[in-house]
């Protein structure tokens, strides 16, 4: 009897599950009726908040994550230690300007997005000192006391080069003011076209004698929220401080800099880099029935910038992954391979968690069949980016995916945190989860990336989408 | 020379335009770079606000609309007069309860969506009088002074019937508490499954001796915002007052009504119906080059409920239509048929504008080839519902529509405001614009339906989607 039963179980568990309309319905019903992602994200955002690498909040979040995940009965939950860089913002963080042609304090209510062009109508009167909504970019050095300079606004790398070569930038603050190309349907493409000025702009400007840079916030919106993000110094150049200014303010400074040759900017920054700090990736697994040593990894990054609560970036991605693992367990899905939810640490300013994850995988001779990343927010799901080798397998499910409005399949997977896996498993299939992109850069890296900006159903539909894609990978890969 | 030129122009204008990738790109570029819908919606919402039929704000909005549209150089802009019903909310509008087992005042911060289940943990102590977030349903009669009664919560029509027949509802307030079925992907389907209790619930309850009804707000969210909406009395029954309560409050009252046999609700309402008032549909047209007497109509409804600013419902739809007309003109598109943007008055509580529009069309022997309605909010566009006869024509453009993420094509067009057109032109093709539905009932008919809940790019992408569909109708119909 025992032999028979074992034999029966073996056959049952080795048979492939049908990923059909019944399976989709069960996953989506569970997500929409009993979804846990939203309430858990609320806990994370409201009891801990932002989670900059190496910060006390990041430590708290890691402890919370391990404890929370341990309550769901997964086969194992553990931390993977990793040292992370630590950069810290200071209370000393101020930007202001004086101008002979502008005296109206910048008031949010006058610059609402719907009439962002209203600068045109602001009164131009004698000068005062105006505080500017601005935040240091991550990684920036501080100033030594108060730094004061005139300002030059540039709109392209070519303009930076030509003004630099003409000596115009010497001793100036440079406003790197290239706006998002609004005609790109996918806002990530617009981000890609502009983010270089944030990441490398300071060192480019230093080469021409600039004393600091202000970077137009990476956002589609015209408003008064400054968006931080990583900047990297070229070691061959001296380091100058860098701040992000809100898009509406970038427009204003651009205009003022043309009208007022005596426009002066004053910056004071106390931010600093500190020694590396211990932290961890957070991992939860369900072991595979057939191939426990073959792994399908999926996750997001657990660190965030220190503005807002890291709700969409990337609390949402972490919750997508956790909830996908829970959904599949909850409906009784028996995975053939080991399913591993990973919350990588330090995506924003170092990628140490992802690098360590891949290094450990290499050391342990782990075989990763596939890796899926969710790092585009918790918005309504649209589809997936998929490695071209795996594309034909996914397209078999196109009609089903379309029925759940997640059938926009693009060629090309990948993502910052799953990229390193390819170094140890060159054939790992990479998949990117793609939610709607229109609102992402409204909140990205800013004080508005809070729990209230996340919609429960959109988040839960995203988690269900990730879950069905994980099941497709589990069934179609060997 | 003159004859030749005329001949050339005639050929040029009678040739069909190519609705191809170049055309799509031009429409979308213009919408995303120079879109007017968002700033105009901001003006409407922030300088006028809500626009209940027959109200002074609705009058102001009509005047604003005509003037605004007149600034764009369309071939004609005019008002179409119509008498509308007038119902008015009063400052006297209060709901409260006393309970021996509950004394904590309802505080928003304790009932945030992320822990809406926290009612479980609220302290249960001696009674006080608690104010409830609630609003009269549109069309409700008022109370005569203060109405006090016990409460019975029901979750289905069947339960209402059985409790009613058992005499349990006599002298009671009835809480009509059927929640949205969360597993429906499209939230409009969930609305359709529940809205009957709001529209007809009062008269059903009256038949069993109830003295008032409270209706669970039509929303997916668990929160403290009450959502109003139309209710209609059965003339054979006596009229009892009806209010909407927030979903979180419906949950609370449901629970309390089970635990506290002495739970008492107190209601005071001063709302009233008044004589019909003059109002108007607002119309803007571009005349067709080839068939000026054949009309393609598209629009939304210009009235709104008196909560919030009617931003998504249906300011967005009106702006979609105006912007679609502007986009086509702006890129130099020569329509074969007359394109008519209509902002119908009184969709919410009477449909008088749409009814009058169809009546005038009949009187004037107008030939409507097609009508498109946008009344599902200004969210990111997904596709269209299309009459089955026209479906094959639309599917010719499926690849192009997919390239702009607007290729979700459903069978079945229609909508409240365009339905009446069929009475005069039975063959008119009806099309419904379909944006993403997940967030719509978060704001619908509530104080949260304000301009800030609208995203500029989502709104402009919707307008571009409407514009290309209008061009497809114009080219494919004769």
**Both ends of chain A: CA-CA distance in Å?**
31
Per-residue pLDDT at A105: 43
Report the side by side order of strands in the sheet with B337-344. B76-88, B272-286, B337-344, B291-301, B367-373, B429-435, B381-386, B408-411
Contacts of residue B115 in chain A, CB cutoff 8 Å? 39, 42
Nearest to A174 by CA among A143, A145, A127, A208: A208
Query: What's the count of helices (H) and strands (E) in chain A, helices before strands?
Result: 14, 16
Report the C-alpha gap between A241 and B224 in whole angstroms. Answer: 45
Q: What is the CA radius of gyration of chain A?
A: 24
Structure-token pair, residue A304? 């965030």
Give the C-alpha separation, A202 to A207, whole Å.
Answer: 9
Please choose, from the candidates A142, A158, A259, the residue with its C-alpha nearest in 3D space to the C-alpha of residue A212: A142
Nearest residue of chain A to residue B380 (CA atoms): A438
pLDDT tens per residue across span A350-369: 999 999 999 999 999 999 99
Q: Which of A101, A93, A121 is nearest to A226 (CA)?
A: A93
Question: Which chain A residue lies closest to B443 (C-alpha atoms)?
Answer: A455
Domains of chain A: 13-88+275-476 (3.40.630.10), 93-270 (3.50.30.30)
Closest chain A residue by Cα to residue B44: A114
Query: In angstroms, what separates the C-alpha of A27 from chain B's closest C-alpha?
Result: 10
* pLDDT at residue A14, rounded to an integer: 53
Q: Residue A23, Cα to own-chain centre: how many angstroms?
A: 30
Using a CB-CB distance cutoff of 8 angstroms, which residues of chain A are in contact with residue B381?
none
A182: Cβ–Cβ under 8 A, 6 or more apart, which residues?
A190, A220, B32, B33, B457
What is the rounded (10 degree) CA torsion for A143, A144, A149, A155? -20
Question: Could you tell me what percent of chain A has a pLDDT over 70?
Answer: 91
Identify the pLDDT of residue A5: 40
Q: Which residues of A sit within 8 Å Cβ distance of B?
A: 28-29, 32-33, 38-39, 41-43, 45-46, 112-115, 182-183, 185, 187, 220-221, 380, 382, 402, 404-405, 408, 436, 438-439, 442, 451, 455-458, 461
What's the Cα-to-Cα distance from A396 to each of A16, A130, A383, A400, A409, rounded to whole Å?
Answer: 16, 59, 14, 9, 12
Structure confidence at residue B114 (pLDDT): 55
Q: Which of A113, A402, A461 sits opposite B456 (nearest CB)?
A: A113
Predicted local confidence at residue B112, as pLDDT: 52
Determine the residue among B456, B462, B464, B465 to mutate to test chain A binding: the one whose Cβ has the most chain A Cβ atoms within 10 Å: B456
Report the residue of chain B nearest A410, measured CA to CA: B403
Q: Which residues of A touch B43 (CB under 8 A)?
A: 114
Helix (H) or strand (E) holding A341: strand A337-344
Digitized pLDDT (tens) for each residue of chain B, 478 residues in all: 344 443 333 344 456 889 999 999 999 999 999 999 999 999 999 999 999 999 999 999 999 999 999 999 999 999 999 999 999 999 999 999 888 776 544 444 455 555 576 555 444 445 567 778 899 999 999 999 999 999 999 999 999 999 999 999 999 999 999 999 999 999 999 999 999 999 999 999 999 999 999 999 999 998 889 999 999 999 999 999 999 999 988 988 998 898 888 899 999 999 999 999 999 999 999 999 999 999 999 999 999 999 999 999 999 999 999 999 999 999 999 999 999 999 999 999 999 999 999 999 999 999 999 999 999 999 999 999 999 999 999 999 999 999 999 999 999 988 999 999 999 999 999 999 999 999 999 999 999 999 999 999 999 999 999 999 999 999 999 8
Rounded to the nearest angstrom, the gap between the alpha carbon of residue B312 and the centroid of all alpha carbons in its chain is 8
pLDDT digits (tens, 9 = 90+) for A238-289: 999 999 999 988 988 998 898 888 899 999 999 999 999 999 999 999 999 9
Nearest-CA distance A383 → chain B (Å): 11
Note the pLDDT of residue A223: 87
- Integer Cα distance of A251 and A216 in angstroms: 9
Residues of B with CB under 8 A from a CB of A: 28-29, 32-33, 38-39, 41-43, 46, 112-115, 182-183, 185, 187, 220-221, 380, 382, 402, 404-405, 408, 436, 438-439, 442, 451, 455-458, 461
The mean of the pLDDT values for chain A is 92
Instruction: Out of A42, A405, A457, name the one closest to residue B220 (CB).
Output: A457
Chain B residues lying within 8 Å of A29, measured CB to CB:
183
Residue A393: count other Cβ atoms within 10 Å of its Cβ.
16
The residues pairing with A431 across neighbouring beta strands, listed in sequence order, are A372, A386
Nearest to B114 among A32, A115, A451 (CB): A451
Instruction: Give the max Cα distance, chain A.
Output: 95
Q: Looking at residue B8, what is its pLDDT?
A: 39
- Residue of B316, B438, B439 to mutate for A, most A C-beta atoms under 10 A: B438
Indicate which of B30, B31, B115, B405 best probes the interface with A, i.e. most A CBs within 10 Å of its own CB. Answer: B405
Cβ contact, residue pair B42, A220, below 8 Å: no
Give dist(CA B1, CA A25) in Å, integer: 68
Contact check, Cβ <8 Å, A41/B458: no
d(CA A317, CA A184): 24
Q: Please, what's the b/e burial string for A146-178 (b: 16 or more CB within 10 A of its CB; e: otherwise)?
A: ebbbebbbbeeeeebeebbeeebbeebbbbbbb
How many CB pairs (< 8 A) connect A and B?
Answer: 87
pLDDT of residue A312 exceeding 50? yes
The Cα B422–Cα B429 span in angstroms is 9
pLDDT number for residue B123: 47
Q: Which DSSP category does A312 fall into?
A: I
Task: Choose among B39, B183, B458: nearest Cβ to A32.
Answer: B183
Q: How much is the average pLDDT of A157-176? A: 98
CA atoms within 13 A on the CB side of A91: 0
CA distance B298 to A69: 51
Q: How far apart are CA B200 and CA A299, in angstroms?
A: 47
B183 CA to chain A: closest CA distance, Å?
5
Task: Tell me which chain B residue has its CA closest to the CA of residue A115.
Answer: B39
């Amino acid at each position: 009897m025992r032999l028979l039963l074992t034999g029966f179980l073996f056959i049952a568990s080795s048979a492939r599950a049908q990923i059909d309309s019944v399976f989709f319905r069960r996953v989506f019903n569970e997500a929409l009726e009993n979804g846990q992602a939203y309430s858990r994200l609320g806990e994370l955002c409201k009891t801990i908040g932002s989670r900059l690498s190496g910060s006390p909040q990041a430590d708290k979040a890691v402890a919370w994550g391990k404890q929370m995940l341990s309550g769901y009965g997964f086969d194992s939950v553990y931390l993977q230690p990793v040292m992370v860089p630590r950069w810290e913002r200071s209370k000393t963080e101020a930007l202001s300007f004086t101008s002979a042609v502008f005296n109206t304090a910048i008031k949010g209510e006058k610059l609402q997005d719907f009439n962002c062009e209203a600068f045109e109508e602001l009164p131009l009167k004698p000068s005062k000192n105006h505080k500017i909504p601005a935040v240091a970019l991550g990684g920036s050095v501080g100033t030594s006391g108060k730094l004061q300079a005139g300002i030059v606004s540039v709109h392209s790398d070519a303009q930076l080069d030509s003004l630099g070569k003409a000596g115009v930038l010497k001793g100036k603050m440079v406003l790197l003011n290239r706006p998002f190309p609004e005609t790109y349907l996918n806002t990530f493409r617009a981000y890609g076209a502009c983010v270089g000025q944030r990441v490398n702009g300071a060192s480019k400007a230093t080469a021409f004698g600039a004393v600091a840079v202000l970077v137009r916030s990476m956002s589609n919106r015209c408003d008064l929220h400054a968006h931080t993000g990583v900047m990297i110094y070229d070691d061959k150049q001296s380091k100058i401080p860098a701040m992000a200014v809100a898009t509406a303010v970038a427009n204003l400074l651009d205009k003022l800099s043309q009208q007022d040759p005596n426009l002066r900017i004053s910056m004071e920054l106390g931010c600093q880099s500190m020694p590396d700090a211990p932290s961890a990736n957070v991992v939860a697994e369900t072991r595979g029935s057939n191939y426990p040593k073959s792994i399908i990894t999926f996750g997001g990054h657990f660190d965030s910038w220190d503005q807002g609560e890291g709700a969409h970036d990337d609390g949402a991605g972490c919750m997508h992954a956790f909830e996908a693992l829970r959904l599949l367990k909850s409906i009784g899905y028996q995975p053939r391979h080991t399913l591993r939810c990973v919350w990588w640490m330090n995506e924003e300013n170092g990628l140490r968690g992802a690098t360590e994850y891949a290094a450990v995988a290499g050391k342990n001779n782990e075989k990763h069949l596939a890796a899926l990343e969710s790092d585009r927010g918790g918005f309504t799901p649209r589809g997936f980016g998929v490695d071209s080798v795996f594309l034909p397998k996914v397209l078999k499910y196109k009609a089903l995916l379309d029925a759940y409005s997640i059938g926009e399949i693009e060629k090309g997977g990948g993502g910052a945190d799953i990229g390193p896996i390819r170094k140890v498993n060159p054939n790992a299939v990479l998949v990117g989860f793609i939610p709607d992109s229109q609102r992402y850069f409204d909140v990205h890296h800013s004080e508005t990336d809070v729990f209230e900006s996340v919609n429960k159903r959109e988040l839960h539909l995203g988690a269900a989408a990730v879950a069905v894609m994980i099941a497709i990978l589990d069934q179609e890969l060997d």
